[in-house]
């Protein structure tokens, strides 16, 4: 066997991004600080919900099928709010892409944030780009092994902190932390932490830009959504070419553009691309090359912005010597506004639904076997399983009545027909569903199938009501 002439697998080329400082680098620092803080602090925020509900501000309580987010509590049947959030997240990504291109990829994506964090650790421990390259090529001496072990240990600690924080969103954080360290937490907690620690370690430490280039579908979607009005990181080739070293350019100023071919844009790129080859899928628009190039342009006394955020329209205008549109105009084009409207509409609809939703309801299921049967006094009995849902975190007294069924009497399986009455009073425990078995007896004369409705009314001061249509069936 010989090797095939065509290789389907490209070996990873090492990426050793150089440290850089500048406006966008500081922006990235700020975004990293905010996103990591949100991730690590959120589960520890408290929110008082009274004695019957957990006091964790954000809690996905899978065991009890509740989702708490500050003042909002969502039940499984209200899952459309979560669907709405997902729709908003999706449209929000469209909106961001339409307005500022792949800003999500460059600044806020967890893969970017954690890779960035890992690269800082790497530079802090192994030195900057050149030292890293040297160390990578060096033979495996005891010193190199020690440095690798040290670096991986720090990575592992970060990975553990990342994976460990995740589980606190799903249970009471202080309790779970205590359980976790004392070995009494559920095995799924340990498994989750182990898996997420491993994925953070591998994705942030080793796979890095390969996740963006080969694994993530989002760059494909985004590149499809970009148009001539999208902000992309652009190398202004009409200004930079023909590139040549500073020395050559000084010798022949007319033959060369502004690019002095110093390769700093390539050196700082966290995905290892050369932006001067034009927009490409590997570019996450983190703008670090803008920072690097601006610095060099400053040093050689040329105007900044040889590499800059720029739309294709603006690039064409600039090439033709026209003035680019103002930034605000390019941000607020039609597509952006449509996405913004859509996004706001979904958000407003959800807020409206949240504001007007009722926190109690009734549902009734008729016994199907037997549906209707005769009692000894000749009346007809139907039986129903009625569920009263109390979504408030306090017990609520409720009264169930029957509407539109003349001569009906009702009783539950807890008492007998001797206690038959016109309304059933019960107290529904907080944050739960109470199940009542109701027996309804009505005169035998009447339609074979008669529509009526169960109504429930909260008899406390706050009140509230709901209604459930049902039908009463009689015998032939």
Residues that bind other proteins (CB under 8 A): 1-2, 4-5, 367-370, 373-379, 381, 383, 413, 416-418, 439, 444
Phi, psi for 82 (deg, rounded to 5): -65, -40
Q: Which is nearer to other proteins, 304 or 417 (CB)?
A: 417
CA–CA dist 234, 279 (Å, integer): 7
CA–CA dist 118, 112 (Å, integer): 10
**Least separation in angstroms between CB 420 and other proteins:** 11
Q: Which is nearer to other proteins, 8 or 142 (CB)?
A: 8
Q: Which is nearer to other proteins, 58 or 383 (CB)?
A: 383
Q: Which is nearer to other proteins, 62 or 373 (CB)?
A: 373
Which among 381, 453, 440, 389 has a CA at the least distance from the CA of 412? Answer: 440
Q: Which is nearer to other proteins, 95 or 372 (CB)?
A: 372
**Least separation in angstroms between CB 58 and other proteins:** 35
Q: Which is nearer to other proteins, 251 or 375 (CB)?
A: 375
Residues with Cβ within 8 Å of 238's Cβ and at least 6 positions away in sequence, in order, are 257, 318, 319
Phi, psi for 399 (deg, rounded to 5): -125, 125
**Least separation in angstroms between CB 64 and other proteins:** 21
- Tokens for 266, please give them: 């390539």
**Least separation in angstroms between CB 400 and other proteins:** 17
Q: Which is nearer to other proteins, 145 or 375 (CB)?
A: 375
CA–CA dist 298, 253 (Å, integer): 18
Per-residue CA distances from 474 to 83, 364, 379, 450, 455 (Å): 42, 18, 9, 8, 21
Per-residue CA distances from 145 to 5, 141, 204 (Å): 36, 6, 20
Q: Which is nearer to other proteins, 303 or 416 (CB)?
A: 416
**Least separation in angstroms between CB 456 and other proteins:** 21
Q: Which is nearer to other proteins, 1 or 406 (CB)?
A: 1
**Least separation in angstroms between CB 214 and other proteins:** 23
Q: Which is nearer to other proteins, 149 or 418 (CB)?
A: 418
**Least separation in angstroms between CB 397 and other proteins:** 20
Phi, psi for 225 (deg, rounded to 5): -90, -15
**Least separation in angstroms between CB 4 and other proteins:** 7
**Least separation in angstroms between CB 423 and other proteins:** 19
**Least separation in angstroms between CB 369 and other proteins:** 3
**Least separation in angstroms between CB 422 and other proteins:** 18
Q: Which is nearer to other proteins, 328 or 418 (CB)?
A: 418
**Least separation in angstroms between CB 442 and other proteins:** 13
Q: Which is nearer to other proteins, 252 or 369 (CB)?
A: 369
């Amino acid at each position: 066997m010989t090797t095939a002439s065509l290789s389907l697998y490209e070996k990873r080329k090492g990426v050793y991004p150089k440290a850089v400082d500048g406006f966008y680098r500081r922006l990235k620092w700020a975004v990293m600080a905010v996103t990591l803080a949100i991730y690590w602090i959120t589960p520890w925020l408290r929110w008082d919900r009274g004695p019957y509900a957990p006091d964790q501000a954000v809690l996905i309580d899978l065991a009890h099928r509740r989702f708490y987010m500050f003042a909002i509590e969502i039940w499984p049947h209200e899952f459309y709010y979560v669907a709405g959030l997902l729709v908003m997240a999706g449209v929000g990504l469209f909106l961001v892409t339409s307005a500022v291109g792949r800003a999500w990829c460059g600044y806020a994506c967890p893969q970017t944030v954690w890779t960035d964090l890992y690269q800082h650790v790497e530079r802090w421990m192994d030195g900057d780009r050149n030292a890293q390259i040297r160390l990578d090529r060096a033979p495996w001496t005891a010193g190199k092994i020690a440095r690798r072990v040290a670096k991986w240990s720090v990575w592992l600690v970060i990975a553990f902190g990342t994976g460990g924080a995740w589980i606190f969103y799903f249970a009471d954080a202080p309790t779970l932390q205590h359980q976790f360290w004392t070995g009494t937490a559920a095995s799924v907690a340990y498994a989750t932490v182990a898996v997420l620690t491993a994925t953070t370690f591998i994705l942030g430490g080793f796979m890095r830009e390969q996740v963006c280039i080969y694994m993530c579908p989002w760059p494909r979607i985004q590149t499809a959504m970009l148009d001539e009005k999208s902000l992309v990181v652009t190398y202004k080739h009409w200004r930079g070419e023909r590139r040549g070293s500073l020395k050559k350019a000084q010798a022949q100023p007319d033959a060369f553009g502004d690019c002095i071919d110093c390769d700093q844009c390539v050196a700082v790129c966290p995905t290892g691309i050369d932006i001067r080859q034009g927009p490409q899928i590997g570019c996450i628009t983190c703008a670090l090359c803008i920072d690097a190039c601006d610095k060099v342009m400053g040093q050689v006394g040329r105007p900044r912005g040889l590499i800059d955020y720029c739309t294709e329209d603006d690039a064409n205008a600039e090439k033709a010597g026209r003035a680019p549109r103002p930034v605000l105009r390019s941000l607020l084009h039609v597509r952006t506004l449509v996405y913004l409207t859509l996004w706001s509409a979904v958000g407003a609809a959800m807020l409206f639904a949240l504001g007007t939703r009722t926190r109690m309801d009734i549902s009734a299921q008729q016994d199907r076997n037997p549906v209707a049967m005769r009692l000894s006094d000749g009346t007809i009995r139907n039986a129903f399983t009625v569920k009263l849902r109390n979504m408030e975190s306090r017990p609520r007294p409720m009264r169930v009545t029957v509407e539109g069924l003349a001569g009906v009497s009702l009783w539950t399986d807890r008492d007998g027909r001797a206690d038959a009455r016109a309304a059933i009073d019960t107290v529904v425990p907080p944050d739960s569903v109470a199940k009542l078995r109701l027996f309804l007896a009505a005169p035998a004369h009447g339609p074979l199938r008669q529509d009526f409705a169960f109504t429930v009314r909260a008899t406390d001061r706050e009140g509230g009501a709901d209604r459930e249509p049902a039908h009463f069936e009689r015998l032939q």
